[in-house]
Amino acid sequence: MRERLAAGGARAHSGEVIVASGDDAAVVAARGATATSVDMIVEGVHFEAPPFELREVGRKALAVALSDLAAMGAAPGEAYVQLGAPAERTDAEVLELAEGVGEVAAAHSVVVAGGDLSRAPVLIVAVTVVGTAPSPDALVRRSGALPGDVVAVTGELGGAAAGLLASRRPELAGGIDAAVAAGLRSRQVDPRPRIEAGLALASAGARAMIDLSDGLAGDARHVSDAARVAIEIDSEAVPIAAGVAEIAAAAGVGTLDLALAGGEDYELLVALPADAVETARTAVAETGIALTVIGRVAAGDGVRISGTDGAVTTPSAFDQRRRSAEPADSA
């Protein structure tokens, strides 16, 4: 079964992997600097299957791990997958999950070079990913933001949180187009790591980056804390995914609550020198998504979000309002 799992995820090719799954350990001829990240998703905490399909579980497990490499400006190399499965899960179900891992691996030229399989009380997928860069200095950290830098974000926000609400309360999506509703669900169950955009931003001179797993407001705070600066966000400039406003209204929560605190969008938040913004915008556009300026870096600390009325709100207020709209069993 271990060999079949690896075969399901090792359809991509990387010349750097000398010995892949099947031996006691993988052997990789590393070059330059490497960036390594570990992510885990747990049934009942991060997903429920159903409504998640097992192929989607596999896709999401690898995608969210690769998103961390995107935030570092690292090119993905290999992945190692640890799977814990309950006894009632059949071989066919486990292999369906592996196929999902393989689809994302193939899309990003990642080799699934090894891993492990064990029984577990619930379905658990832990993924270790390794990326490369020409040198340590080529990797982008959270801590590099400087006062005067411009803050920008890739893509659109709020879609994953709106998709989660709609999947739990389907009536919320009754007023929007079916294709838009499907797109919101996809943002939740099938996130796309912004690998190419992360590489483009690193090349354009990004000083700090983070992927948006906890929500824009919370992840901006991580950059603020790491760089010891203040992050100022203009709420009017935040790009909102189609359908989010309608889902938010139906759920009785503000659109910005989902966009700023909903989490799991897996877009990139970046701090750039002002003179690098246009170069970065053009480079990101070539990857098929937009880069939107939403604020600035200032001296001080914390995150400040300005509203249409000029009032400044703290991230915790958005998080509290968002949580009040979630079902009691929300993970």
Closest among 145, 97, 142 to 124, alpha carbons compared: 97
**Separation CA 217–CA 263 (nearest Å):** 9
Residue 28, token pair as written in the block: 């990789």
Express each pLDDT in 83-132 by its tens digit. Answer: 999 999 999 999 999 999 999 999 999 999 988 999 999 999 999 999 99
Judge contact between 257 and 325, C-beta under 8 A.
yes
**Separation CA 228–CA 126 (nearest Å):** 31
- SS in 3 state form for the chain? CHHHHHHHHCCCCCCCEEECECECCCEECCCCEEEEEEEEEEECCCECCCCCCHHHHHHHHHHHHHHHHHHHCCEEEEEEEEEEECCCCCHHHHHHHHHHHHHHHHHCCCEEEEEEEEECCCCEEEEEEEEEECCHHHCCCHHHCCCCCEEEEECCECHHHHHHHHHHCHHHHCCCCHHHHHHHHHHHHCCCCCHHHHHHHHHHCCCEEEECCCCHHHHHHHHHHHHCCEEEEEHHHCCECCCHHHHHHHHCCCHHHHHHHCCCCCCEEEEECHHHHHHHHHHHHCCCCCEEEEEEEECCCEEEEECCCCCEECHHHHHHHHHHCCCCCCC
Judge contact between 51 and 87, C-beta under 8 A.
no
**Separation CA 316–CA 79 (nearest Å):** 35
Q: What's the pLDDT score for residue 205? A: 97
Domains defined along the chain, listed by start: 2-138 (3.30.1330.10), 142-324 (3.90.650.10)
Amino acid, res. 169: R
pTM for this entry: 0.89
Low-confidence ranges of the chain (pLDDT < 70): 1-16, 18, 20-24, 308-331
Q: What's the pLDDT score for residue 262? A: 87
Look up tokens 């196929």; give the residue: 99
**Separation CA 78–CA 10 (nearest Å):** 9
**Separation CA 123–CA 44 (nearest Å):** 9
Judge contact between 115 and 80, C-beta under 8 A.
yes
CA distances from 268 to 83, 192, 247 (A): 28, 11, 23
CB atoms near residue 310 (< 10 Å)? 6
Q: What's the pLDDT score for residue 314? A: 62
How buried is 45 (Cβ within 10 angstroms: 0-12 exposed, 13-18 middle, 19+ buried)? exposed
**Separation CA 5–CA 95 (nearest Å):** 6
How buried is 172 (Cβ within 10 angstroms: 0-12 exposed, 13-18 middle, 19+ buried)? buried
**Separation CA 170–CA 7 (nearest Å):** 37
Could you report how far apart the first and last alpha carbons of the chain are, in Å?
31
| Residue 260: HSE in the Cβ half-sphere, 13 Å Cα cutoff | 31
